[in-house]
Structure 1
Amino acid sequence: MSGDLYITLLTSLPYHGELFGEQQTPISRIQLESRLRLLEPEDAVTLDAIEQLIRWANHSLDEDDAAVAAQTQRLLEGEICSWLQQLIAYRMEIRTLMAALRRRRRGEGPPERPSGWGVGRWQRRIHANWGEPGFRLEGVFPWVLEANRLMQEEDHLGLERLLLGVTWRALERFGEGHYFDFEAVVVYVLRWGIIDRWSCYHGKAAVARFESLVEQALAGQRLEFVGDG
C-alpha cells in the first residue's frame, strides 16, 4: 500500500477522544469498514486475523485454552512484522493472566502442565506461584493485584474498566512513532473496538447484560478475557 493511501485512510478517520469520556464510537463500523477498503488485500487479511484472535467473544465456550494458544502461535509464525508480533503477544499474555485469575477464582488448581496452556513468557511463573495473589507478576503487570481484588469482590464492571484502560494505554504506547502506516491503522481499529465495547455498558440494562455475560464466562473453561475490543 502506498504512503499516499495510508495518509488518505488515516486522515479520514475521526479522533477517538478519551476512552471513558465517550458514549459512542466516533465512526460507525460500517463507515470504518468503508475506509478500510483502502487497505491492500494482505493487510486486510492480517487485520481481520488480529481482530478475530483478540476479540474474546469470537471464541466459543467449548474452545479450550490450548486451542486459542495454537491459534495465536499460527498467527505469530505467519509473515507479520516484529511490531505486530509484540502487540499480539502482549495482548494474549494479558488474556493468559486473566484466564489464570478466573480459573483460580473458580477454585481450580493450576493447569496440569506448566506451559502450553496459555500464551507468552509468564506461563511457568503463573504455574509456580499459583497461590500468590498476583502470581508474583506485579512488577510486569502493576495492575494485577487490583484486577484480582475486583474479581474477588465480583465487581465485574470495575474489572472491565480497569482492563480496558490498561489495554488502551498499551495501544497508545505501541502507536508511538506510527502515524501513517499499517501499524497506525491496527492501533486505530483496536482502540475503536475498545470504545465500542465500553459504549455498550451505559444504562442499567446494559450493565445487567454485561454481568450476565461475565457469569457465563466464569462458568466456562476457555481462555476468556474482558477488556477487548
Structure 2
Amino acid sequence: MAHSDRYAMLLSALPYHGPLFGATQTPLSRFRLNQRLALLAEEELRCLEDARRLLEWAQQPPGRPDAQAVREAQGVIEGMSNGFVRELVTWRLEMRTLVAAMRHRHRGEAAPRERHWGFGRWVGHLMRHWNEPAFGLERAFPWLPEAERHLRTGAAAELERLLLGVVWDRLERLSDGHYLDFEAIVIYVLRWDLIARWTTYDGEHALQRFDALVERVSIPQAGR
C-alpha cells in the first residue's frame, strides 16, 4: 500500500477533534488511537513515540542530572528521521525551558551559571537577561508577559490554559499544507495529547506536579 493511501486510511479513521477548550473528552480513547496508529510504518511509529515521550512530562525519569537529560533529548532528536518532527519537538522543549526559567526566577533564584540546565538556543540569552521582564523575549514570545502575570498572581489554571493554547495555535498554523501525510498524523496525535491533558486537568495537582518537575532542574546558583 502506498504511503499516501495508508495516511488517508488512518486519517479517515480519526474523528474530528474540535476546539481544545470546548472538549470534555478526547475524540477517541487512547486504546483506539493506538490501534489506528498501527497502520504507520515502524520507523514512523518510532519517530512519533520518541516525540511524545520527550514531550510528556510524566514520563521523564526523576533524579536524572540536567546535563544528561539535555544530552539524551538532543540524541533522540538528532536520530529522528523526520525534519518536521525534529523542529516541532525542539520548539516545545525550548518553550519548556522558558517556562522553567520563569518559574525559578519567580521563586527568587539567581541566574544559572552553567548552560546545561536547559534545552535549546535560548539558554544563553536567558542567563544573560535573567532580571529583565520576560527575559527581553516578549517580541519573540508574546505570551511570556501574560504567563508571568499568571505566575505572580498564582493563577495556575489560567497559566495552564495559556500554555496549552500557545501550543495548540502553533499546531494549527503548522497544519496548513499537511492533509494526507505523516505530518498531519503527528499534528493530530499531539493535539489529542493536549486534549487529554486539558480534559483531565486538576489545578491543584497540576501545580504540585509542576513544582516537583521544576525541583528536578537543579539550576546552579551564583556563589554556590
Fold shared, TM-score > 0.5 on shorter chain: yes
Q: Which amino acid aligns with 2:38?
A: R
Is the CA contact 1:92–1:119 (under 8 Å) kept in the aligned structure 2? Answer: yes
Q: Is there any run of 5+ residues in structure 1 with no aligned partner, and where?
A: 224-229
Give the Å deviation of 1:79.
4.1
Counterpart Cα distance in 1 of 2:159 and 2:153: 10
* Range with bigger deviation, 129-138 or 83-92: 83-92
Q: Is there any run of 5+ residues in structure 2 with no aligned partner, and where?
A: 219-224
TM-score (norm 1): 0.89
Give the equivalent residue in structure 2 for 1:134.
Answer: 134
Give the equivalent residue in structure 1 for 2:77.
Answer: 76
Give the Å deviation of 1:72.
2.0
Give the equivalent residue in structure 2 for 1:94.
Answer: 95
C-alpha change, 1:132 and 1:85, in structure 2 (3 Å) is same
C-alpha change, 1:215 and 1:82, in structure 2 (3 Å) is closer
Question: SS of 1:152's equivalent?
Answer: helix
Counterpart Cα distance in 2 of 1:140 and 1:71: 27
Which residue of the other structure, out of 197, 209, 215, is the alignment partner of 1:213?
Answer: 209
TM-score (norm 2): 0.91
Counterpart Cα distance in 1 of 2:19 and 2:173: 15
Is the CA contact 1:151–1:159 (under 8 Å) kept in the aligned structure 2? Answer: yes
Q: Over aligned residues, Cα RMSD in angstroms?
A: 1.7
Counterpart Cα distance in 2 of 1:123 and 1:7: 40
Give the Å deviation of 1:66.
2.5
Give the equivalent residue in structure 1 for 2:23.
Answer: 22
Q: Quick check: 1:40 aligned with 2:36?
A: no
Counterpart Cα distance in 2 of 1:72 and 1:142: 26
Question: SS of 1:111's equivalent?
Answer: coil
Q: Which amino acid aligns with 1:172?
A: E
Question: SS of 1:9's equivalent?
Answer: helix
Q: Which amino acid aligns with 2:130?
A: W
Give the equivalent residue in structure 2 for 1:226.
Answer: none
